[in-house]
Structure 1
Amino acid sequence: MPSELMDLMHGIQELADARPDYDRAQAYYEGEVPEVFASSRIRRALRANDIDFDLNFAKTAVNAVVDRLEVAAITSPDKTVNDLIAKLWDDNNLALELPDLHRRGCEYGDAYLICLPFVDDNGTVLRVEMFYNSPQTVRIIYSQENPRLKEFAIKRWVDGCYRRVELYYPDRIERWTTKKNASGKDEADWEHWLAGPDEDTGEVDPESWIIEHDWGEIPVFHYRTDRPYGVPEHFGAYGPQNAINKLQSTHMGTVDYQGFPQRYALTEAATTDTSDLEPGDWDDADFPPDDRGMGPSDSGDDSSLKAGPGELMLLRGFKAVGQFDAAQPAVFLDPIIFNVRAMAQITTTPTWMFDPSGEQPSGQSVRGQDAGFTRKICNRQLSFGSTHREAFVFSLRQLGVEDPMVDVRWVPAETVDTQEGWQTVGEKIRNGVPRKQALMEAGYRAEQVDEWLEGVDDAELSRRVGILAAVADSAQKLGAAAALGVVTSEQVQALLTGALSDIELLAGVEAKT
C-alpha cells in the first residue's frame, strides 16, 4: 500500500468499526429499538401493523446529565482576550452549539468540535468557525505508544455520487475523493481531491489536494465520557430498555382482551345448533363492508344474546358459557418498575428522575440520592471543560493571541436550595468552617462567594444564612399547602415574591447605612 494511503484506509476502517456502536446508541436514545420476541408469528404481526407502544426510559439517563451541563461563562483575565472570546461566541452561535455538543457527547459517548480559521487574500484570519461533528463521520486516531497524542483525525461524508475524506494533521490537511459511484472500500477507489482551476490561468494545481498550515495542532477537539473513546451515558440502560419494550408491547396486546374478553361455549355434541349464529362476533375480516361502510358486527344482529329490560337470552345447545380472563396489568407493570430502577442503578441516575408520577423527594433525601450522580456531573464538567479550553485556546491563537489564558466555568452541578441545606451551611460556619469554603461546598462558584462576602462579617453572614433557611422552609410549607388546595400556586408565588422583595429592600437600606 502506498504510504500516503495508509492513514486514509486506516481511518476509514476505524470509522467503519466504530459506527455500529454509535448507531445503536442513537437508536436507544431516540427510542427506535424493536421489541425482541421469541415468537416469529408475533414479530410478523407487530411489524405488519407498525405497532409501537415503547416507553423510552433510556433517554432519561442522557438528558439528566445534559440538563446539568450548563456553561456559566468562558472568560479570560485579559479584557482584549475577553472581547475575542465574545466574538467567537457570537460568530459561532455557541449558545446553541455547545448544548447540542454536550447532548451528542453524552448520547454517543464522543463528540467532536472542528475549529477552522478563515483568511482573506492577504493571509489575515477573519474569523474561526467552530462547529459540531458527529462521531459517526469523524474520528481522532490516537498514538498506540502515547494514548494522549493525536496522530491524525479523519472526516468522511457523502457528496452526491462521490465519497469525500479530509485528513487533519498538525501541519496540513489532506483532501481525498472516490471515483464516481465508487464504494470507497478499496484503495483503488480513492484519488486526490484537487481544487478547481485557477481563475487566471485556468490550470489545476496537482498539489492542491494538500492544504499546508502552521497551526502546529490538529484542529479537531474530542469531547468524551471516557478515554481514549467514550461510552454513551445510557449504555447500561440497553438491557433494561429491551425488557421494558417487550413488557409494554405484550401488555398492550392484552388490553384488547381486557376490553373484549375471549369467550367460550361448551356444547353437547348431539344437540348443538349454531345455524342462527353469525360467524365471528368481532372479526369482520372475511366480510367486506356494505355501501355504508358497515360490516356484519356493526348491524346489531350478530348474536341472539341481547342485554336489556325484558330481554330473553336464548342459549340453544350450549351447556355452559364463560370467558378467559386476560393477564392482570401488574404482571407487566411490576417488572417494568423493576427494570426502571435497575436502569437508574446501572447508569448512576437518581431514581426520582425516572418516576412517571413526577413526585420529587425533598430535603436531604435528594442530596443523598444525587451524591453519585453529582460526582458524575463533576467528572463530565472536568472532561468537557478541559476540551472547551483547548478549543478556545487554539481559536484565540489563530486570531493573534500568543499565549491566551482561558477559564471555563460551569453552573454548579448542585446548589443548596432547601431548609435543611441552609441549616447545614449555618452549622458549618458556626463550628469553624471558613465562610467561603462552606458556601463553595453548597455549590456556588468562588467568584460568586467572593462578591457576597465582600464587607460581610460572620454575624451578618450567619443572619443571612438564617433568612435563606427560613425562606426555604416557608417555600416548602407553602408548596405543601398548595398541593392540599389550601392556597393557589399563584398566591404562593405572590407571597414569596413579596417576601423576597422586602428582604432585598431591607438589605439595600442596611448596605447604605
Structure 2
Amino acid sequence: MADTLKLRVIQGDAVLEKLDDDHPDLDRALKALSAKLDGYEDIWNYYDGDQPLMYTSGRLRDIFKDLDMATFVENWCAVIIDAANDRINLRGVTLEDKTANDALKVLWEELGINLEADDVHEAALVIGEAYIMVWKDDEAIDVVYNDPRLVHLFYESANPKKKWYGAKWWADSKDHLRITLYYDDRLEYYRSEKETKNTTSVRHLLPYSPIGEKDADGEVDNVETHEFGEVPIFHYRLERRKVKGDIVNVIPLQNGINKLVTDMMVSAEFGAFPQRWAITDSDIGDLKNAPDEVWWIPSGDGTGQQAAVGQFKSIDLKVFIEAVDHLASSAAIISRTPKHFLFQQGGDPSGEALVAMEAPLNKRCSDHIERFNPVWKEVVQFILKLAGTDIEKKDIAINF
C-alpha cells in the first residue's frame, strides 16, 4: 500500500499527500483525525441546537454581527434524528448455544451494552459513523462507545471490507495529546511532547508507554502485542461510499428556518402591533397615552400642513409562518420523516393514512438496522472470543 495514499474522511475521496517517512501510519492517523474534527463538530452542534444565524448577504451579517441574543432556533435536526433513533432499539442477542447464550446475557448486563448501543446509533445517525471498542485488560472485558471525532478506522485498499488499522486520539489529564494505533497483533502508544493545542505535526509525537516500560536498549517500549488476530475497533456506517448522516441535506433548510423564525420574532417585537402617528404644530407635551384618554388636537390655522392622525399597517406574521411550514415540509421530504413530526396538520389522520405517512421513516430505519446488524454480530463474536468462547456469526441473532 502506497504510503502517500490518504483518505479524506469528510469528502470520502482519496487524495495524494506526502506522509512522514519514519511514521507513515501515525502521520496518516493524525491527518485523518484532524481532517474530520471541525466538520463533525459543526454537525453535532446542529443536532444539539447550537446553530448559527445565516444571512444571504455579507453586508447584513456585518450589520447584525452583535445581535447574537436575537437568534431563535427551531431545531428540526434533532426531531429528524430522534424520530429514527426511537425506532432503532437493540433489545438483545440470542445464540443457538444455550451455555454461550447464558454467559453472554451476564456479560451484556455487566457491560451495559444497551446503553453503549444507544450512543452508537445516535452518533451514526447524526454523523454517519460511530465506533465501539472492545478490549480485555487485566482479565476484564470492556465495551465502550467512542465518539467518531476521536476514532478512525482504515481499510485495506485491495479489500475495503478488511480492517487495516485503527487510531484513537484524546487529551490526557496533563493536556498532552495521546494517540494509540490498533493493529490485529499489537497496539502502539504515542504522546505529544507539547500541549494538545501546539501539536500540529507527527514530529511532535513521541513513543510512550502507559506503564513506563523500556526495551533492552533502554528506549521507551511503546508496543503492546496481543493474540486476538483482529483490530478491536468496530465501525458503524450508514453507507460506505462516504460519511453522511441523516441531517446533512437538511442543514441548509434548517438555516433558512432559523432565519425566518428570527425575522418573525423581531417583526413581532417592532411591527406586529399597530403603530399610530399624529401631525400637528401644537405642543404635544401634555398629551398622555393611556386608556380612557382623549387627545384634543387643533385642526390647524388653515395654511400649510393641517393636523392629521393615522395608523401604520401592522406586519402580518402569517407570511413567516407559511414560509417556515414550507421549509419544514421540504425537510420532511428530504429526510423521509413524516410531516406530522415537524408541523401541525388539521385533523387526525386515519390509521391507514398514518401507516402510509410513516412508511418512508420505517424504511429509513430498516435500512440503518441492516447496516448495523452485521457489525453487532462482529462485536458479539469478539466479546465471546475474549471470554474464551468461539461462536460463528451465523449462530448469532441480533434482536432489534
The answer, yes or no, to whether TM exceeds 0.5 is yes
Return closer, same or farther for 1:263/1:205 CA change in 2, 3 Å cut-off: farther
What's 2:201 paired with?
Answer: 186
- 8 Å Cα contact 1:194-1:204 kept in structure 2: no
- Taking only aligned residues, the RMSD between alpha carbons, in angstroms, comes to 2.5
Partner amino acid for 1:97?
A: E
Q: Deviations over 1:30-82 (max 9, x none)?
A: 111111233236523522xx233211112111111101101233010111211
- 8 Å Cα contact 1:340-1:354 kept in structure 2: yes
Give the distance between the partners of 2:289 and 2:232, measured in 1 at CA.
Answer: 78
Residue 93 of structure 2 is aligned to residue 93 of structure 1:
no
Residue 394 of structure 2 is aligned to residue 381 of structure 1:
no
What's 1:243 paired with?
Answer: 256
User: SS at the partner of 1:151?
Assistant: strand
- 8 Å Cα contact 1:176-1:193 kept in structure 2: yes
What's 2:397 paired with?
Answer: 407
Partner amino acid for 2:297?
A: L
Larger Rg: 1
User: SS at the partner of 1:179?
Assistant: strand
Q: Deviations over 1:110-149 (max 9, x none)?
A: 1100001123xxxxxx331001101111111122332222
- 8 Å Cα contact 2:212-2:220 kept in structure 1: no
- 8 Å Cα contact 2:90-2:114 kept in structure 1: no
What's 1:314 paired with?
Answer: 297
User: SS at the partner of 2:307?
Assistant: strand
Task: Please give the residue correspondences for 1:29-48 in structure 2 after superposition, counting only pairs within 5 Å.
Answer: 29-37=47-55, 38=57, 39-40=60-61, 43-47=64-68
Partner amino acid for 1:24?
A: D
Task: Please give the residue correspondences for 1:426-505 in structure 2 after superposition, counting only pairs within 5 Å.
Answer: none
The percent identity for this pair of structures is 25
What's 1:473 paired with?
Answer: none
User: SS at the partner of 1:339?
Assistant: helix
Instruction: Report how far residue 359 of structure 1 moved.
Output: 6.5
Greater strand proportion:
2
Give the distance between the partners of 1:157 and 1:108, measured in 2 at CA.
Answer: 19
Residue 248 of structure 2 is aligned to residue 265 of structure 1:
no
Which residue of 139, 144, 153 maps to 2:157?
144
Give the distance between the partners of 2:221 and 2:310, measured in 1 at CA.
Answer: 83
Give the distance between the partners of 2:149 and 2:365, measured in 1 at CA.
Answer: 24
Return closer, same or farther for 1:229/1:135 CA change in 2, 3 Å cut-off: farther
- 8 Å Cα contact 1:196-1:204 kept in structure 2: no
Give the distance between the partners of 1:90 and 1:326, measured in 2 at CA.
Answer: 61
What's 2:88 paired with?
Answer: 69
Return closer, same or farther for 1:188/1:180 CA change in 2, 3 Å cut-off: same
Aligned residues: 369
Partner amino acid for 2:323?
A: P
Residue 185 of structure 2 is aligned to residue 171 of structure 1:
yes
User: SS at the partner of 2:53?
Assistant: coil
- 8 Å Cα contact 2:297-2:307 kept in structure 1: no
- 8 Å Cα contact 2:130-2:237 kept in structure 1: yes
User: SS at the partner of 2:152?
Assistant: strand
- 8 Å Cα contact 1:195-1:204 kept in structure 2: no
Q: Deviations over 1:488-511 (max 9, x none)?
A: xxxxxxxxxxxxxxxxxxxxxxxx
Return closer, same or farther for 1:86/1:206 CA change in 2, 3 Å cut-off: farther
Task: Please give the residue correspondences for 1:190-205 in structure 2 after superposition, counting only pairs within 5 Å.
Answer: 190-197=205-212
Instruction: Report how far residue 327 of structure 1 moved.
Output: 2.0
Larger relative contact order, structure 1 or 2 (CA cutoff 8 Å, min sep 6): 2
Return closer, same or farther for 1:2/1:330 CA change in 2, 3 Å cut-off: closer
Q: Deviations over 1:240-265 (max 9, x none)?
A: 11111000000000112345544433
What's 1:415 paired with?
Answer: none
Give the distance between the partners of 1:360 and 1:395, measured in 2 at CA.
Answer: 47
Q: Unaligned stretches of 5+ in structure 1? A: 120-125, 278-300, 411-513
Which residue of 119, 132, 137 maps to 1:113?
132
User: SS at the partner of 1:206?
Assistant: coil
Which residue of 3, 18, 31 maps to 1:13?
31
- 8 Å Cα contact 2:260-2:324 kept in structure 1: yes
- 8 Å Cα contact 1:62-1:233 kept in structure 2: yes
- 8 Å Cα contact 2:208-2:220 kept in structure 1: no
Return closer, same or farther for 1:215/1:263 CA change in 2, 3 Å cut-off: same
Give the distance between the partners of 1:394 and 1:358, measured in 2 at CA.
Answer: 51
Give the distance between the partners of 1:208 and 1:361, measured in 2 at CA.
Answer: 66
What's 1:413 paired with?
Answer: none
Return closer, same or farther for 1:401/1:181 CA change in 2, 3 Å cut-off: same
What's 1:393 paired with?
Answer: 381
Instruction: Report how far residue 316 of structure 1 moved.
Output: 7.6
Return closer, same or farther for 1:204/1:26 CA change in 2, 3 Å cut-off: farther
Give the distance between the partners of 1:315 and 1:129, measured in 2 at CA.
Answer: 87
**TM-score where L is the length of structure 2:** 0.85
Partner amino acid for 1:406?
A: I
**TM-score where L is the length of structure 1:** 0.67
Residue 277 of structure 2 is aligned to residue 256 of structure 1:
no
Q: Deviations over 1:335-359 (max 9, x none)?
A: 1111011001101111122234696
Instruction: Report how far residue 373 of structure 1 moved.
Output: 2.1
Return closer, same or farther for 1:357/1:52 CA change in 2, 3 Å cut-off: farther
Q: Deviations over 1:378-403 (max 9, x none)?
A: 11111111111111101111111123
Q: Deviations over 1:393-434 (max 9, x none)?
A: 011111111234321021xxxxxxxxxxxxxxxxxxxxxxxx
Instruction: Report how far residue 166 of structure 1 moved.
Output: 0.5
